[in-house]
């Protein structure tokens, strides 16, 4: 048998060796250059190998905050009290901390805009505090000074070419509406929210083109009206969440229709809602019962709102069945899940121009029959957990699982077929002054890379990404003990100085390139030169 050496000669062998070496070099940076992988935990090369490339042109790069978490100025210029002022001021948050001052963005908003600008962001998502604009929640109390604050913030953003994305309700309900009506369990809030939304559309609509009615209503309903750990601290797990959600969905629908009727033709903006869910991973993907359980979990969290809004004006069948059957078994004469009238279904269906998704983590789901008393979680018949070996963060509920986001994006896309804005994604660290936040860089790199895979490889229509959060802020009942910021805020200093963390520079790099540049800059150019030379060498000796 003739050896390769005899057949092709020495030069060709050298050429081939160079070629092999070159291919190895091409492969190498992909394997070792990615400092944003979680190699000790997730190391499935088919799934976790980074992808290099760009997002589609026009991809929105943003960061997000919310009013109560950053503004402070809790009673400034006529602002009314919100249910979160009440909770925090009564000592309901870690160490008795409050959002009374928070990041003092009420006074320092121009600095915030500069932080966004320095990162090259194209969008900034913030929320309007309802009681700042309407201290008692009604039109009669309209507060011009409150509106002026948001007008100034929007103008400052536009001056720097940053598009404002406005959330109308990020959890800070006027306390008066809680006192008089019992909050979201009362149908009267549908009209009241519509009045508030209408004023915001009217006053800011010429400048704001992306509107989000509600942020994470699942959290409002379950934590606020189910287990009562968030404002307004109502502990009614079998009924409260369903009643609150029913009002919120109708409120969203009415506000959306108001925009269509009064402002769409003139301003041409888009209106939708931001929903949150973990990705539900079936414990055993070959077990249909666990696969169904995982889907059920996501239907009960995101689908609860998304199904009526993006599909047919009504709850997912699986929710109707689960809650209906459980209610019957509990001896009730009707389901604890309220029913929409035909007229309501009509005006709720199709009231979302995009899907706003807040996503942080993944949860393992398995089917488990849960009888007992009326309870929204038991209604799901799902047991959930996160494996101990998954990476940790500064929040015990938040384990980084980057590939879960890609799967969640595919699930949302298949279910609802809408363009998706990831309106929040990010990670916390404990309360330490850490500017070299490598864990946050790893998280953003790994997660955003999975977004790129969903976009480029899976064809999911992702329109933009918003990092949570622009800066450390008031993390609800955890106070200032968990830091999610791309910028460090010193809450001991009355000036609340902001300092860039390394993650901000890392994120700015992704924004500037509009994606992921091959690691080891220049490696591509060098190796492709080798590749061309090696090929020429082989061809030369073969001929």
Ligand X SMILES: *[C@@H]1O[C@H](CO)[C@@H](O)[C@H](O)[C@H]1NC(C)=O
> How far apart, in whole angstroms, are the C-alpha atoms of residue 215 and residue 137?
18
Among 8, 321, 530, 541, binds ligand X (CB under 6 A): 321
Q: Least distance in Å: CB of 123 to ligand X?
A: 27
Query: Is 265 or 329 the residue whose CB approaches ligand X more closely?
Result: 329
Between CA 480 and CA 407 the distance in angstroms is 32
Torsion sign across C-alpha atoms 39, 43, 49, 50: negative
Binds ligand X by CB under 6 A, chosen from 100, 233, 438, 477: 438
DSSP state of 56: P
* Residues near ligand X (CB under 6 A), total: 11
CA 130/CA 110 separation, integer angstroms: 21
410 binds ligand X (CB under 6 A): no
Q: Please, what is the minimum distance in Å from the beta carbon of residue 379 to ligand X?
A: 11
Q: Does 436 bind ligand X (CB under 6 A)?
A: yes
Residue 324 sits in the site that holds ligand X (CB under 6 A): yes
Q: Does 138 bind ligand X (CB under 6 A)?
A: no
- Per CB under 6 A, 499 contacts ligand X: no
Identity of the residue, 287 or 436, whose beta carbon is nearer to ligand X in the bound complex: 436
Which residue, 245, 255, 208, is CA-closest to 225?
Answer: 245
Q: Binding to ligand X by residue 188, rule CB under 6 A?
A: yes
Shortest CB 70 distance to ligand X, Å: 26
The DSSP call for residue 232 is T
Indicate the angle between helix axes 402-416 and 438-456, nearest 10 degrees: 40
Q: Measured from the CB atom, is 157 or 192 closer to ligand X?
A: 192
Collapse the DSSP code of 63 into the 3-class scheme (helix H, G, I; strand E, B; otherwise coil) and give the result.
Answer: strand
Largest CA distance in the chain: 96
Residue 29 · residue 518 · CB < 8 Å? yes
Closer CB to ligand X, 151 or 502, in the complex: 502
Catalytic residue among 71, 283, 424, 450: 424
Q: Which of residues 500-529 bind ligand X (CB under 6 A)?
A: 502
Least separation in angstroms between CB 184 and ligand X:
11
Q: How far is the CB of 179 from ligand X (least distance, A)?
A: 9
Residues 6 or more apart whose CB falls under 8 angstroms from that of 220 comprise: 171, 184, 214, 230, 244, 248
Min separation Cβ 48 and ligand X, Å = 21
Which residues lie closer than 8 Å to 347 by C-beta, 6 or more apart? Answer: 253, 254, 257, 313
CA distance 195 to 422: 28
We find the least distance from the C-beta atom of residue 218 to ligand X, in angstroms, to be 21
182 in contact with ligand X (CB under 6 A): yes
Region from 245-253, 254-262, 297-305, 317-325 binding ligand X, contact rule CB under 6 A: 317-325
Could you tell me which of 108, 172, 2, 105 has the C-alpha nearest to residue 473?
105
Closest CA to 117 of 162, 156, 63: 162
8 A C-beta contact, residue 36 and residue 452:
no
> Closer CB to ligand X, residue 22 or residue 335?
335
Whole-Å CA distances, 410 to 335, 404, 453, 458, 487? 32, 10, 10, 8, 31
Choose, by CB under 6 A, the member of 111, 186, 233, 368 that binds ligand X. 186
- The answer to whether 33 contacts ligand X (rule: CB under 6 A) is no
Q: Return the number of the residue (114 or 500) whose C-beta is nearest ligand X.
A: 500
Active site residue 6: no
For the annotated catalytic residues, the residue numbers are: 424
Residues of this chain that interact with ligand X (CB under 6 A) are 180-182, 186, 188, 321, 324-325, 436, 438, 502
């Amino acid at each position: 048998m003739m050896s390769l050496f005899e057949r092709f000669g020495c030069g060709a062998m050298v050429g081939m060796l160079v070629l092999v070496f070159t291919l190895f070099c091409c492969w190498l940076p992909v394997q070792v250059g990615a400092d944003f992988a979680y190699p000790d935990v997730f190391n499935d090369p088919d799934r976790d190998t980074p992808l290099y490339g760009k997002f589609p042109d026009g991809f929105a790069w943003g960061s997000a905050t919310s009013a109560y978490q950053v503004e402070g100025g809790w009673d400034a210029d006529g602002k009314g009290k919100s249910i979160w002022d009440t909770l925090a001021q009564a000592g309901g948050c870690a160490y008795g901390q409050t959002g009374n001052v928070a990041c003092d963005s009420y006074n320092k908003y121009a600095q915030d805009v500069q932080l966004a600008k320095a990162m090259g962001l194209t969008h900034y998502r913030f929320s309007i505090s309802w009681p700042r604009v309407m201290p008692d929640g009604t039109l009669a109390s309209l507060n011009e000074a409150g509106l002026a604050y948001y007008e100034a913030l929007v103008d400052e953003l536009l001056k720097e070419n940053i598009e404002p994305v406005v959330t109308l309700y990020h959890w800070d309900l006027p306390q008066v509406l809680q006192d008089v009506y019992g909050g979201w369990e009362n149908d009267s809030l549908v009209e009241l929210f519509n009045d508030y939304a209408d004023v915001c559309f009217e006053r800011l609509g010429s400048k704001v083109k992306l509107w989000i009615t509600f942020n994470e209503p699942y959290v409002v309903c379950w934590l606020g009206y189910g287990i009562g750990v968030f404002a307004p601290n109502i502990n009614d797990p079998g009924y409260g969440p369903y009643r609150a959600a029913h009002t919120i969905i109708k409120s969203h629908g009415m506000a959306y229709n108001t925009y269509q009727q009064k402002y769409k033709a003139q301003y041409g903006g888009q209106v939708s809602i931001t929903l949150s869910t973990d990705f539900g991973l079936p414990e055993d993907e070959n077990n249909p019962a666990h696969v169904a359980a995982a889907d059920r979990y996501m239907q009960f969290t995101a689908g609860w709102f998304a199904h009526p809004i993006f599909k047919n004006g009504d709850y997912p069948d699986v929710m109707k069945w689960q809650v209906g059957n459980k209610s019957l078994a509990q001896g009730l004469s009707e389901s604890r899940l309220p029913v929409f009238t035909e007229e309501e279904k009509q005006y709720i269906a199709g009231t979302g121009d995009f899907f706003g998704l807040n996503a942080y983590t993944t949860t393992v789901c398995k089917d488990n029959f849960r009888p007992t008393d009326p309870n929204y979680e038991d209604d799901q018949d799902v047991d959930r957990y996160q494996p101990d070996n998954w990476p940790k963060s500064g929040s015990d509920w938040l384990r980084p699982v980057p590939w879960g986001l890609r799967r969640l994006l595919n699930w949302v896309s298949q279910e609802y077929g809408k363009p998706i804005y990831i309106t929040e994604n990010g990670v916390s660290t404990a309360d330490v002054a850490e500017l070299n936040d490598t864990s946050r860089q790893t998280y953003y790199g790994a997660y955003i890379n999975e977004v790129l895979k969903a976009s480029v490889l899976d064809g999911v229509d992702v329109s933009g990404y918003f990092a949570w959060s622009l800066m450390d802020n008031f993390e609800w009942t955890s106070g200032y003990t968990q830091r999610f910021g791309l910028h460090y805020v010193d809450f001991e200093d009355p000036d609340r100085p902001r300092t860039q963390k390394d993650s901000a520079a890392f994120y700015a790099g992704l924004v500037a390139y509009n994606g992921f540049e091959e690691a080891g800059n220049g490696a591509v150019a060098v190796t492709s030169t080798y590749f061309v030379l090696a090929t020429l060498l082989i061809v030369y000796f073969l001929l």
